[in-house]
């Protein structure tokens, strides 16, 4: 009986050791370098826009940043009137670039987009392009968003971050939305209530049945002027708080 008990204990501890080993291996695999966290630039017109951003911040102060992809960039065009109304007097700078993925934002942050400025707040909404062509896994996208937040915290420690969940896309329920939801459920954990504030506003764009209306997202991805109005009104209260207004 003693031998049997001893054997059972050996098997028990061996099982624990095996589980610990597998867990450590999985964790190590998950943190290996991958595309979503490897800073890279893009070519062509993208580089021109990047240089224009560098020229803007080189002029001096900026109190509010918007960082993201084409949905953020279009504050300059489709969302211009809403931008002027809400951010025209807030010394705001738009750092959105069409087509950007997390890796491209990381490169821009390392190469001048935030050099020499001390903003009060940055609004970040990034990651939808990582779910598109050559998609990353949800965990890789989380890594990418986390890396952006970490880089901003390191480079601009006095700045507060308003991290937005990735907006829904596609007219109705679809696998891409599932990936986005998984990412959002995880990056909300970055919220610390002090330096990093997570806000989920995607539901404000949806109809009661979960669909997207063309009046808000004409192509079920990019926002209309009405959509930008929803974005601005959905973050206004939190933005005032973070800006100390």
| Inter-residue contact 51 to 81 (CB < 8 Å) | no
CB-count burial class (<10 Å; 0-12, 13-18, 19+) for 21: exposed
Measured distance CA(27)–CA(21) in Å, rounded: 10
CA 132 to chain CA centroid, nearest Å:
15
Give the Å distances, CA to CA, from 229 to 71, 103, 148, 199. 13, 28, 26, 16
- Annotation marks residue 211 as catalytic: no
50 is catalytic: no
Q: How many Cβ atoms from other residues are within 10 Å of residue 187's Cβ?
A: 24
Q: Where would I find the beta strands (DSSP E) of 47-174?
A: 64-68, 92-96, 121-125, 160-164
Known catalytic residue: 219?
A: yes
Contacts of 194 (CB under 8 A, 6+ apart): none
Residues, the chain = 245
34, 63, 70, 195: which one is catalytic?
70
CA-wise closest residue to 37 among 131, 103, 100: 103
Q: Which of 86, 104, 197, 222 is catalytic?
A: 222
Which tokens sit at 173?
A: 């329920």
DSSP designation for 224: P
From the list 7, 203, 219, 237, the catalytic residue is: 219
Distances, alpha carbon 35 to alpha carbons 39, 87, 109, 152, in Å:
8, 33, 16, 19
Among all residues, which ones are annotated catalytic? 70, 219, 222
């Amino acid at each position: 009986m003693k031998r049997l008990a001893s054997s059972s204990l050996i098997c028990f501890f061996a099982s624990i050791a095996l589980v610990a080993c597998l867990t450590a291996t999985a964790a190590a695999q998950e943190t290996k370098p991958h595309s979503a966290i490897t800073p890279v630039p893009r070519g062509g017109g993208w580089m021109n826009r990047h240089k224009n951003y560098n020229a803007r911040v080189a002029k001096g102060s900026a109190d509010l940043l918007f960082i993201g992809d084409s949905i953020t960039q279009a504050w300059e065009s489709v969302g211009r009137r809403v931008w002027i109304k809400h951010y025209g007097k807030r010394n705001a700078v738009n750092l959105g670039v069409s087509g950007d993925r997390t890796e491209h934002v990381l490169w821009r942050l390392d190469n001048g987009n935030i050099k020499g400025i001390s903003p009060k707040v940055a609004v970040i909404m990034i990651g939808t392009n990582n779910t598109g062509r050559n998609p990353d896994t949800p965990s890789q996208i989380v890594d990418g968003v986390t890396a952006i937040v970490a880089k901003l915290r390191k480079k601009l420690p006095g700045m507060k971050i308003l991290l937005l969940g990735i907006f829904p896309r596609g007219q109705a329920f679809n696998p891409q939305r599932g990936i986005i939801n998984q990412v959002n459920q995880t990056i909300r954990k970055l919220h610390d209530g002090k330096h990093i504030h997570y806000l989920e506003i995607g539901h404000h764009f949806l109809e009661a049945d979960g669909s997207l209306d063309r009046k808000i997202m004409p192509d079920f991805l990019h926002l209309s002027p009405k959509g930008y109005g929803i974005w601005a009104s959905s973050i206004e209260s939190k933005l005032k708080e973070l800006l100390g207004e």
